[in-house]
Amino acid sequence: MPHLVLQWTDWLDLFLHYSALSLLSVGGVISTAPEMHRYLVDQLHWLSEAQFNSSIAIAQAAPGPNILFVALMGWNIGLNAGSFAAALLGVLLTMSGILIPSSTLAYLAIRWGHQNRELRVVRAFKLGMAPLVISLMGATGWILASANSDPAKDWPLWLLTAATAMILWRSKIHLLWLLAVGAALGWFGGL
Amino acid sequence: MTPVDRHKPRSPLDLFVSFNQLALQGFGGVLAVAQRELVERKRWISNEEFVEEWSVAQVMPGPNIVNFALMIGGRHFGLGGAVAAVTGLLAAPLVLVLLLALVYAQYINNPHVVGALRGMGAVAAGLIISAALKLSSSIKSNPLGPPACVALGVTCFIGIALLRWPLVYVLPGLGVTSCMLAYRQLKP
């Protein structure tokens, strides 16, 4: 784990770098992770390889938006700089950097789109994108499921995914029940 | 869905609490939970509107779910509502993820924990697929017509899920085609 001495200019750089990435993060913030890796791990050595990877893994495992991996990177940079106060500063700077520019742009664009929702070009955009948006959601589920890549060994996981999809499609059962079943099956070695 | 069935968030606090609840159920992403909570349970929007608004959230930079929360919050209570929804979405999961990071090192090799996470991941994948299946009923009213919608959707799925092409090529390529077709179908 690196030990860092960070000046306020370094913190400013961190904020500005994430602000720039914010505007480039079309298709989700995870698509900018390779650039974060180049900057934080390869170039500045502010994070170790293990810290970078575990930031993404923990955010994926925890409930909530996956974007919180950004907060964990800021947290780890702060810890490397030596204190919990610095870790909280890291969270604040990375999260506000990654969120404020894109959110400002999105808020203005959404408001414009809503005010002009009867325009033919706005209707065409939303209706034209609809089949792609639904397809992308299916693709996301597929990619998550195929993280379990060995069919001979992982077939129970695929079965669980398929069963969950059918049950949730056709019933109104609360999601947390199924998550609990999945966790219990995995905990006791059924998967 | 008729307007009679439609509900609305009562206050920015209601937005905060609602987004907080759905975020805490969102293992492996919050989108599918948002469909389940906001369309089916709370009935703030219909499946058709969900898809339309999600398409905007998808093409803007930034996390899709944050853009979506901005949209729902802003629609009902302006900027204050947008901030309430996004804060609700992020606050509790942020605290949770930092706590997890603190204890993570001790449990990373525990086979029970690893197994439980794999099981929850498989359920999360199923949830997302079920949400896509439900939303696909919304294309019946799409002016592109079901055959064109299915062709575009299947092409997109093959490119992204099977061939693993980058989204930045697939989405603009198919999106421009699809939107131009829709533009021609709509009456001026």
Interface pTM, i.e. ipTM? 0.83
Q: In one letter, which amino acid is A184?
A: A
A119 DSSP assignment = S
Comparing CB atoms, the residue among A55, A128, A172 nearest residue B178 is A128
Alpha helix ranges (H) inside B60-187: 64-107, 111-135, 146-157, 167-185
Cβ pair B111:A189 closer than 8 A: yes
- Strands (DSSP E) contained in chain A are none
pLDDT at B1: 43
Are residues B67 and B57 in contact, defined by beta-carbon separation less than 8 angstroms?
yes
Query: How far from each other are the two terminal CA atoms of chain B, in whole angstroms?
Result: 26
Task: Provide the total of helices (H) and of strands (E) in chain A, helices listed first.
Answer: 8, 0
pLDDT digits (tens, 9 = 90+) for B60-79: 888 889 999 999 999 999 99
Mean pLDDT of chain A: 88
For residue B28, CA distances in Å to A41, B25, B167 come to 25, 9, 19
Cβ pair B144:A58 closer than 8 A: no
pLDDT at B2: 46
Cβ pair B64:A28 closer than 8 A: yes
CA A190 – CA A82 distance, rounded (Å) = 42
pLDDT at A27: 66
Comparing CB atoms, the residue among A106, A124, A178 nearest residue B186 is A124
pLDDT at A84: 92
Structure-token pair, residue A161: 């995914």
CA B19 – CA A182 distance, rounded (Å) = 24
Residues of A in contact with B33 (CB under 8 A): 175
Q: What is the mean pLDDT of residues A94-109?
A: 95
Residues of B in contact with A149 (CB under 8 A): none
Of all residues in chain A, the percent with pLDDT exceeding 90 is 45
Q: 10 Å Cβ neighbour count for B163?
A: 9
Q: In one letter, which amino acid is B149?
A: C
Q: pLDDT-derived band of residue A190, with 50, 70 and 90 as boundaries?
A: low
Cβ pair A58:B90 closer than 8 A: no
Q: Is B1 at the interface with chain A, CB within 8 A?
A: no
Residues of B in contact with A127 (CB under 8 A): 52, 142-144, 182, 186
pTM confidence score: 0.83
Tens-digit pLDDT string for chain B (188 aa): 444 567 899 999 999 999 999 999 887 678 888 998 999 889 999 998 898 888 888 888 888 899 999 999 999 999 999 999 999 999 999 999 999 888 876 777 788 888 888 888 888 889 889 989 988 988 888 999 999 999 999 999 999 889 988 777 888 899 999 999 999 998 87
Are residues B136 and A134 in contact, defined by beta-carbon separation less than 8 angstroms?
yes
* pLDDT of A150 above 80: no
Cβ pair A29:B62 closer than 8 A: yes
Q: Which of B63, B68, B32 is nearest to A68 (CA)?
A: B63
**Sequence ranges of the domains in chain B:** 3-140, 142-188
**Tokens 């992770």 -> residue:** A33
Q: Which residues contact A115 (CB under 8 A, 6 or more apart)?
A: none
Structure-token pair, residue A79: 């810890």
Comparing CB atoms, the residue among A31, A129, A130 nearest residue B167 is A31
CA B70 – CA B15 distance, rounded (Å) = 11
Are residues B51 and A130 in contact, defined by beta-carbon separation less than 8 angstroms?
yes
Q: Which of A49, A91, A101 is nearest to B94 (CA)?
A: A91
CA B86 – CA A110 distance, rounded (Å) = 15
Q: Which residue of B has its CA nearest to A185?
A: B119
Residues of B in contact with A106 (CB under 8 A): 57, 60-62, 66-67, 70-71
Structure-token pair, residue B120: 């929850």
**Tokens 């993570």 -> residue:** B104
User: How many beta-carbon contacts under 8 Å exist across A and B?
Assistant: 365
Comparing CB atoms, the residue among B71, B94, B114 nearest residue A110 is B71
CA B91 – CA A27 distance, rounded (Å) = 23
Q: Is B141 at the interface with chain A, CB within 8 A?
A: no
Q: Which of A18, A58, A24 is nearest to A40 (CA)?
A: A18
